Amino acid sequence: MRRGYYFGWTLLLLALFTFSDASSQTVNQELSDIFKELWKLDVNRLSPGTHYNISLQGKAGYIPQGSTSAVDHASSPLFTSVDEAKLNSITTYARFMKLLDNYERSTGVAERVTAEEVTENNSFLDAILETAVMKHAHRYLIGKRKSRSVLRQFKSQLYYMWFHLYHRDRNGGEDSSGFEHVFVGETKFGREIMGLHNWVQFYLQEKQEILDYKGYKARDNDVPNEDDHVLNVQFSWHGLVKPVASAFVGVSPEFEMAIFTILFLTSTEKTTTAVVNLDEYQLEMVVHRHGRSIGTAYPKLLSSNNRHV
Protein backbone atom coordinates (compact mmCIF):
# COMPACT_ATOMS: atom_id res chain seq x y z
CA MET A 1 0.00 0.00 0.00
CA ARG A 2 2.76 2.43 0.97
CA ARG A 3 4.77 1.50 -2.14
CA GLY A 4 1.76 2.27 -4.33
CA TYR A 5 1.26 5.57 -2.50
CA TYR A 6 4.79 6.73 -3.21
CA PHE A 7 4.62 5.43 -6.77
CA GLY A 8 1.48 7.48 -7.35
CA TRP A 9 3.14 10.64 -6.03
CA THR A 10 6.15 10.00 -8.23
CA LEU A 11 3.96 9.78 -11.31
CA LEU A 12 2.13 12.96 -10.30
CA LEU A 13 5.38 14.88 -9.81
CA LEU A 14 6.73 13.65 -13.14
CA ALA A 15 3.53 14.76 -14.82
CA LEU A 16 3.75 18.19 -13.22
CA PHE A 17 7.37 18.68 -14.25
CA THR A 18 6.58 17.51 -17.78
CA PHE A 19 3.62 19.89 -17.99
CA SER A 20 5.71 22.76 -16.64
CA ASP A 21 8.45 22.16 -19.20
CA ALA A 22 5.99 21.87 -22.05
CA SER A 23 4.02 24.93 -21.02
CA SER A 24 7.21 26.98 -20.84
CA GLN A 25 7.60 26.37 -24.59
CA THR A 26 3.99 27.15 -25.52
CA VAL A 27 3.89 29.43 -28.52
CA ASN A 28 2.21 32.80 -28.01
CA GLN A 29 0.02 32.78 -31.09
CA GLU A 30 -1.20 36.37 -30.84
CA LEU A 31 2.33 37.76 -30.67
CA SER A 32 3.41 35.37 -33.43
CA ASP A 33 0.64 36.73 -35.64
CA ILE A 34 1.40 40.42 -35.11
CA PHE A 35 5.16 39.83 -35.50
CA LYS A 36 4.50 37.95 -38.77
CA GLU A 37 2.52 40.93 -40.03
CA LEU A 38 5.38 43.27 -39.13
CA TRP A 39 7.85 40.89 -40.79
CA LYS A 40 5.89 41.11 -44.05
CA LEU A 41 5.81 44.90 -43.81
CA ASP A 42 9.57 45.20 -43.23
CA VAL A 43 10.47 46.33 -46.74
CA ASN A 44 13.77 47.72 -45.44
CA ARG A 45 15.02 44.30 -44.37
CA LEU A 46 18.21 43.53 -46.29
CA SER A 47 18.66 40.33 -48.26
CA PRO A 48 21.51 37.90 -47.50
CA GLY A 49 23.67 37.21 -50.54
CA THR A 50 22.52 40.46 -52.11
CA HIS A 51 22.98 43.28 -49.60
CA TYR A 52 25.32 41.46 -47.20
CA ASN A 53 27.19 38.18 -46.81
CA ILE A 54 28.13 36.33 -43.63
CA SER A 55 30.61 33.54 -42.93
CA LEU A 56 29.54 31.33 -40.01
CA GLN A 57 32.76 29.26 -39.85
CA GLY A 58 33.13 27.18 -36.66
CA LYS A 59 30.93 26.44 -33.67
CA ALA A 60 32.06 28.34 -30.57
CA GLY A 61 32.80 26.49 -27.35
CA TYR A 62 31.52 26.98 -23.83
CA ILE A 63 33.06 29.73 -21.71
CA PRO A 64 31.77 31.11 -18.40
CA GLN A 65 30.40 34.62 -18.01
CA GLY A 66 33.15 37.11 -17.22
CA SER A 67 35.84 35.35 -19.25
CA THR A 68 38.38 37.52 -21.02
CA SER A 69 39.50 34.91 -23.54
CA ALA A 70 37.96 32.25 -25.75
CA VAL A 71 39.21 29.81 -28.35
CA ASP A 72 38.61 31.45 -31.71
CA HIS A 73 36.59 29.16 -33.99
CA ALA A 74 36.30 31.83 -36.68
CA SER A 75 39.47 33.21 -38.25
CA SER A 76 37.50 35.70 -40.35
CA PRO A 77 34.79 38.23 -39.50
CA LEU A 78 31.14 37.19 -39.45
CA PHE A 79 30.28 39.83 -42.06
CA THR A 80 32.35 39.36 -45.19
CA SER A 81 30.54 42.22 -46.96
CA VAL A 82 27.76 44.74 -46.37
CA ASP A 83 26.34 47.12 -48.95
CA GLU A 84 26.94 50.34 -47.03
CA ALA A 85 25.57 52.42 -49.89
CA LYS A 86 22.29 50.57 -49.44
CA LEU A 87 22.36 51.17 -45.68
CA ASN A 88 23.01 54.88 -46.09
CA SER A 89 20.31 55.21 -48.74
CA ILE A 90 17.58 54.09 -46.29
CA THR A 91 16.62 56.89 -43.93
CA THR A 92 15.96 54.74 -40.86
CA TYR A 93 19.36 53.02 -41.09
CA ALA A 94 21.20 56.27 -41.82
CA ARG A 95 19.68 58.02 -38.81
CA PHE A 96 20.11 54.92 -36.66
CA MET A 97 23.85 54.78 -37.36
CA LYS A 98 24.26 58.39 -36.24
CA LEU A 99 23.17 57.33 -32.73
CA LEU A 100 25.80 54.64 -32.25
CA ASP A 101 28.60 56.97 -31.12
CA ASN A 102 26.51 58.95 -28.62
CA TYR A 103 27.25 56.86 -25.53
CA GLU A 104 29.85 56.13 -22.86
CA ARG A 105 30.62 52.44 -23.07
CA SER A 106 31.20 51.74 -19.37
CA THR A 107 28.45 51.69 -16.78
CA GLY A 108 29.09 53.99 -13.84
CA VAL A 109 30.13 56.79 -16.19
CA ALA A 110 27.35 59.34 -16.44
CA GLU A 111 26.02 60.05 -19.91
CA ARG A 112 26.08 63.63 -21.17
CA VAL A 113 23.39 64.14 -23.76
CA THR A 114 23.95 67.14 -25.99
CA ALA A 115 21.26 69.12 -27.80
CA GLU A 116 22.58 67.64 -31.05
CA GLU A 117 22.12 64.11 -29.71
CA VAL A 118 18.55 64.86 -28.63
CA THR A 119 17.88 66.10 -32.16
CA GLU A 120 19.38 62.89 -33.57
CA ASN A 121 17.19 60.77 -31.28
CA ASN A 122 14.07 62.64 -32.38
CA SER A 123 15.03 62.46 -36.06
CA PHE A 124 15.44 58.70 -35.79
CA LEU A 125 12.04 58.30 -34.13
CA ASP A 126 10.45 60.54 -36.76
CA ALA A 127 11.91 58.31 -39.49
CA ILE A 128 10.73 54.99 -38.04
CA LEU A 129 7.28 56.40 -37.27
CA GLU A 130 6.84 57.02 -40.99
CA THR A 131 7.35 53.33 -41.84
CA ALA A 132 4.54 50.84 -42.36
CA VAL A 133 6.10 48.65 -39.65
CA MET A 134 5.79 51.24 -36.88
CA LYS A 135 2.41 52.49 -38.08
CA HIS A 136 1.02 48.96 -37.85
CA ALA A 137 2.64 48.43 -34.43
CA HIS A 138 1.08 51.69 -33.24
CA ARG A 139 -2.39 50.62 -34.43
CA TYR A 140 -1.99 47.30 -32.63
CA LEU A 141 -1.02 49.05 -29.39
CA ILE A 142 -3.94 51.47 -29.70
CA GLY A 143 -6.25 48.46 -30.03
CA LYS A 144 -4.71 47.01 -26.88
CA ARG A 145 -5.17 50.37 -25.10
CA LYS A 146 -1.43 50.47 -24.44
CA SER A 147 -0.81 53.62 -26.45
CA ARG A 148 -2.64 56.82 -27.39
CA SER A 149 -3.72 57.44 -30.97
CA VAL A 150 -2.02 60.86 -31.09
CA LEU A 151 1.30 60.30 -32.85
CA ARG A 152 3.10 62.91 -30.75
CA GLN A 153 2.13 61.06 -27.56
CA PHE A 154 3.26 57.73 -29.00
CA LYS A 155 6.59 59.28 -29.93
CA SER A 156 7.01 60.60 -26.37
CA GLN A 157 6.22 57.11 -25.07
CA LEU A 158 8.89 55.63 -27.35
CA TYR A 159 11.42 58.27 -26.35
CA TYR A 160 11.00 57.51 -22.65
CA MET A 161 11.14 53.74 -23.19
CA TRP A 162 14.27 53.80 -25.33
CA PHE A 163 16.22 57.01 -24.66
CA HIS A 164 15.40 58.02 -21.08
CA LEU A 165 18.59 57.80 -19.01
CA TYR A 166 18.66 55.80 -15.79
CA HIS A 167 21.13 54.31 -13.29
CA ARG A 168 22.38 50.85 -14.25
CA ASP A 169 25.35 51.15 -11.89
CA ARG A 170 24.11 52.74 -8.65
CA ASN A 171 27.54 54.15 -7.89
CA GLY A 172 27.55 56.55 -10.81
CA GLY A 173 25.24 59.00 -12.50
CA GLU A 174 22.59 58.24 -15.09
CA ASP A 175 24.71 55.92 -17.17
CA SER A 176 22.42 53.86 -19.38
CA SER A 177 19.32 53.67 -21.55
CA GLY A 178 17.39 50.96 -23.33
CA PHE A 179 18.71 52.03 -26.71
CA GLU A 180 22.33 52.05 -25.57
CA HIS A 181 22.10 48.64 -23.97
CA VAL A 182 20.23 46.82 -26.74
CA PHE A 183 21.63 48.43 -29.87
CA VAL A 184 25.04 49.86 -28.91
CA GLY A 185 26.33 47.66 -26.08
CA GLU A 186 27.90 48.39 -22.68
CA THR A 187 30.56 47.02 -20.37
CA LYS A 188 30.02 46.42 -16.66
CA PHE A 189 32.88 47.07 -14.23
CA GLY A 190 35.28 46.43 -17.10
CA ARG A 191 34.56 42.71 -16.71
CA GLU A 192 31.42 41.93 -18.67
CA ILE A 193 29.78 42.79 -21.99
CA MET A 194 26.12 43.69 -21.70
CA GLY A 195 23.63 44.06 -24.52
CA LEU A 196 24.86 44.67 -28.08
CA HIS A 197 22.15 42.75 -29.88
CA ASN A 198 22.14 44.65 -33.16
CA TRP A 199 23.64 43.41 -36.41
CA VAL A 200 24.56 46.84 -37.83
CA GLN A 201 26.54 47.75 -34.71
CA PHE A 202 28.14 44.28 -34.79
CA TYR A 203 29.25 44.82 -38.40
CA LEU A 204 30.58 48.35 -37.80
CA GLN A 205 32.53 47.24 -34.72
CA GLU A 206 33.98 44.31 -36.70
CA LYS A 207 34.98 46.67 -39.49
CA GLN A 208 36.88 48.82 -36.98
CA GLU A 209 38.52 45.63 -35.59
CA ILE A 210 37.10 46.36 -32.13
CA LEU A 211 34.86 43.29 -32.17
CA ASP A 212 36.08 39.77 -32.95
CA TYR A 213 33.58 37.08 -33.91
CA LYS A 214 34.46 33.73 -32.27
CA GLY A 215 31.87 31.45 -33.88
CA TYR A 216 28.20 30.58 -33.83
CA LYS A 217 26.33 28.93 -30.97
CA ALA A 218 23.82 26.18 -31.74
CA ARG A 219 22.72 22.70 -30.84
CA ASP A 220 24.29 19.96 -32.95
CA ASN A 221 21.03 19.23 -34.76
CA ASP A 222 20.25 22.89 -35.47
CA VAL A 223 23.28 24.29 -37.29
CA PRO A 224 22.51 27.72 -38.81
CA ASN A 225 22.67 28.68 -42.47
CA GLU A 226 24.34 31.74 -43.94
CA ASP A 227 20.99 33.15 -45.06
CA ASP A 228 19.47 33.02 -41.56
CA HIS A 229 17.98 36.22 -40.16
CA VAL A 230 18.53 35.24 -36.49
CA LEU A 231 21.78 33.97 -34.97
CA ASN A 232 23.30 33.06 -31.61
CA VAL A 233 26.98 34.04 -31.61
CA GLN A 234 30.05 34.41 -29.40
CA PHE A 235 32.39 37.39 -29.67
CA SER A 236 34.99 39.53 -27.93
CA TRP A 237 34.69 43.31 -27.64
CA HIS A 238 37.12 45.72 -26.01
CA GLY A 239 39.08 42.85 -24.45
CA LEU A 240 36.02 41.11 -22.99
CA VAL A 241 34.11 38.07 -24.22
CA LYS A 242 30.36 37.54 -24.51
CA PRO A 243 29.76 33.75 -24.19
CA VAL A 244 26.57 33.89 -26.21
CA ALA A 245 24.63 36.75 -27.75
CA SER A 246 21.60 36.64 -29.96
CA ALA A 247 20.54 39.05 -32.66
CA PHE A 248 18.45 39.50 -35.75
CA VAL A 249 20.49 39.86 -38.93
CA GLY A 250 19.47 42.05 -41.85
CA VAL A 251 16.25 43.33 -40.29
CA SER A 252 15.54 47.05 -40.13
CA PRO A 253 15.86 49.10 -36.94
CA GLU A 254 12.15 49.91 -37.12
CA PHE A 255 11.29 46.20 -37.06
CA GLU A 256 13.33 45.61 -33.91
CA MET A 257 11.96 48.73 -32.23
CA ALA A 258 8.41 47.66 -33.10
CA ILE A 259 8.49 44.10 -31.79
CA PHE A 260 10.35 44.94 -28.58
CA THR A 261 8.04 47.90 -27.95
CA ILE A 262 4.98 45.66 -28.33
CA LEU A 263 6.43 43.03 -26.00
CA PHE A 264 7.30 45.70 -23.44
CA LEU A 265 3.99 47.57 -23.48
CA THR A 266 1.70 44.52 -23.50
CA SER A 267 3.16 43.18 -20.25
CA THR A 268 3.69 44.51 -16.75
CA GLU A 269 6.13 41.82 -15.64
CA LYS A 270 9.67 42.75 -14.60
CA THR A 271 10.94 40.25 -17.14
CA THR A 272 8.70 39.22 -20.00
CA THR A 273 9.39 36.16 -22.15
CA ALA A 274 7.31 34.85 -25.01
CA VAL A 275 7.90 32.01 -27.46
CA VAL A 276 6.93 33.00 -30.99
CA ASN A 277 7.11 31.48 -34.44
CA LEU A 278 8.40 34.01 -36.95
CA ASP A 279 9.18 33.20 -40.57
CA GLU A 280 11.22 29.96 -40.33
CA TYR A 281 12.38 30.54 -36.74
CA GLN A 282 11.13 29.75 -33.28
CA LEU A 283 12.30 32.43 -30.86
CA GLU A 284 12.05 33.19 -27.19
CA MET A 285 11.57 36.94 -27.07
CA VAL A 286 12.91 38.54 -23.89
CA VAL A 287 12.33 42.02 -22.50
CA HIS A 288 13.43 43.23 -19.07
CA ARG A 289 12.05 46.50 -17.79
CA HIS A 290 13.78 49.23 -15.86
CA GLY A 291 10.84 51.19 -14.51
CA ARG A 292 9.03 52.64 -17.53
CA SER A 293 12.09 52.10 -19.71
CA ILE A 294 13.61 49.08 -21.40
CA GLY A 295 16.45 47.43 -19.50
CA THR A 296 17.25 44.87 -22.17
CA ALA A 297 15.54 43.20 -25.10
CA TYR A 298 16.66 40.42 -27.42
CA PRO A 299 15.55 37.36 -29.38
CA LYS A 300 16.83 34.00 -28.20
CA LEU A 301 16.97 31.59 -31.14
CA LEU A 302 15.38 28.25 -30.19
CA SER A 303 15.14 26.66 -33.62
CA SER A 304 15.78 27.72 -37.22
CA ASN A 305 14.96 26.58 -40.74
CA ASN A 306 11.54 25.23 -39.68
CA ARG A 307 13.07 22.37 -37.67
CA HIS A 308 10.52 23.02 -34.91
CA VAL A 309 7.57 22.42 -37.27
21 sits in which H/E element? helix 2-24
C-alpha torsion 62→303→230→182, nearest 10:
-70
The beta-strand segments (E) located in 185-292 are 186-188, 192-194, 211-216, 230-237, 240-248, 271-278, 281-290
36 in active site: no
Candidate list 138, 181, 214, 217, residue with the active-site label:
181
Backbone angles phi, psi at 223, to 5 degrees: -70, 130
167 in active site: no
Candidate list 138, 197, 214, 229, residue with the active-site label:
197
Candidate list 217, 229, 242, 290, residue with the active-site label:
242
- The DSSP output letter for 46 is P
- The DSSP output letter for 47 is P
| Amino acid identity at 90 | I
181 in active site: yes
Give yes or no for a contact between 234 and 245, defined as CB atoms under 8 angstroms apart: yes
Catalytic residues: 181, 197, 242
